[in-house]
Chain A
């Protein structure tokens, strides 16, 4: 700093003496002699500038204070926007990386590239403004002194550059911190900001990254190996249900492309059937439990067989629940009755669930008809779908027979599935081209075009001030002679 001051002063003195030297030259050459007053004037001007440099700094800071211009506000403003944009770009690029496994909403895949590059350019513009602010904040006095040094170089070699630098430093020091005020004045960017935050459903993206995805299909069977139709398989991690898929009439569920899938990491699974939560084997699955078999289903390549250990299936939505005390030895479904032979270790209750088509007329236990049928209605997904009959049975081998006649009622149930990937990408599926371009257009306008406009305005003011500082012609008296 002292070096620059001393250099500027020495250069001013040198300029002055060169001017005087030209005055004293005994050569009657007007073209040369004209430089003498010019140089003397320049030297005095640069010296005035040099000695008022602390006045200039204080004045600039005072004016900046008058307008409430603060570098910290500006830098925080820029940093906040850059961090938002960078998280969004990371989100988008990680989604593109997953794109080979997951079919995204087409709108997102087609727009991902342009979105990324637009965000990149916006970030670049903000970074440039940030750099400019940091340089000005840090080197304000140094740049001002450098301008004065350049201004003091003899023969006006760098006078315009010097005055330009001085004007630039003064104007930008006052004006640049007011950039957020200017942008808020023209177009408030708060709405764009909130839209942008909606654009990145970051938490869900993190989950997809953490849990992974596997496209699998499988069969859900009962203890006898019979397929369970219309059962609901649920995948649970940390108490949160991430996926739920229903089996078809053959007991097969498909967690395939594009929007289904299952988590790749260790997942607890349960099977829900007619409102009952049933035990499964295995109860937890991870990647190693699947076998690779890409020929079973078109959309998935991993296979898994899940056995529900505590039921014996009779028909659709109809089954017997067994526990440790009851062992089902035979189960026959006839035209108008069901014949069940069980071995019971104690006096207990046999739970038989029959769908609403079965209108049970009588229940016999060891050929003795039960006086009263106790049953409960089972609702599943808000539809009455079955009835549970509670049949008391004694210890030992027991023969249970349920007579029924079939009623022709439709078995309508709407099993609600939860698609793993669709759920994660739900935030993105609501996106449309117009909403994305709307948001990007807004931020492009607020964070690139408006700052550029503002910088152009400041540059123009600096140019005018530079003319005021360095553009005036010397008016020292000299006779035009010879």
Chain B
């Protein structure tokens, strides 16, 4: 596996984890915010977690869109790769 594949697979996993964490944060945030604890600071933490989760999801969506767009544009304007070399007049013998 070369470096680029490694980085790309890492990126895919991180994206999945990020989406999962968004849902988790959303849940945890709301859970803390809606918990019957009469402590304002605790409820505040819950709200912040929910806010960050939303900001994260926003950047996630934006990023995915933009990167997809970039990939699409570059792959569509990139020159097609040259055809593989063909060997002319080569005789092969069976082993």
Contacts and interface: CB of A to CB of B under 8 A. Distances in A.
Interface of A: 3, 6-7, 9-11, 13-14, 16-21, 23-26, 28, 33, 36, 40, 479, 481-482
B14 A17 contact: yes
Interface in B1-55: 3-4, 7-8, 10-11, 14-15, 17-18, 21-22, 24-25, 28-29, 45, 48-49, 52-53, 55
Contacts of B4: 3, 6-7, 10
B21 to A, nearest CB: 4
Contacts of A19: 59
A7 B3 contact: yes
A240 B66 CA distance: 85
Contacts of B14: 14, 17-18, 21
Given A7-B4, A19-B59, A24-B53, A13 B11 contact: yes
A24 B7 contact: no
Contacts of B8: 10, 13
B52 A24 contact: yes
Contact of A20 (B10, B18, B28, B48): B18
B82 to A, nearest CB: 13
Contacts of A3: 4
Contact of B21 (A21, A33, A481, A482): A21
Contacts of B10: 14
A19 B59 CA distance: 9
Contact of B48 (A17, A36, A481): A481
A25 B25 CA distance: 7
A18 B17 CA distance: 10
Contact of A26 (B25, B60, B70): B25
Instruction: Select the residue from A19, A23, A28 with max chain B CB neighbours within 10 A.
Output: A23
Given A17-B63, A18-B14, A28-B45, A11 B7 contact: yes
Contact of B53 (A11, A14, A26, A481): A26
B49 A26 contact: yes
Nearest to B50: A26
Contacts of A33: 52
Contacts of B28: 26
Contacts of A7: 3-4, 7
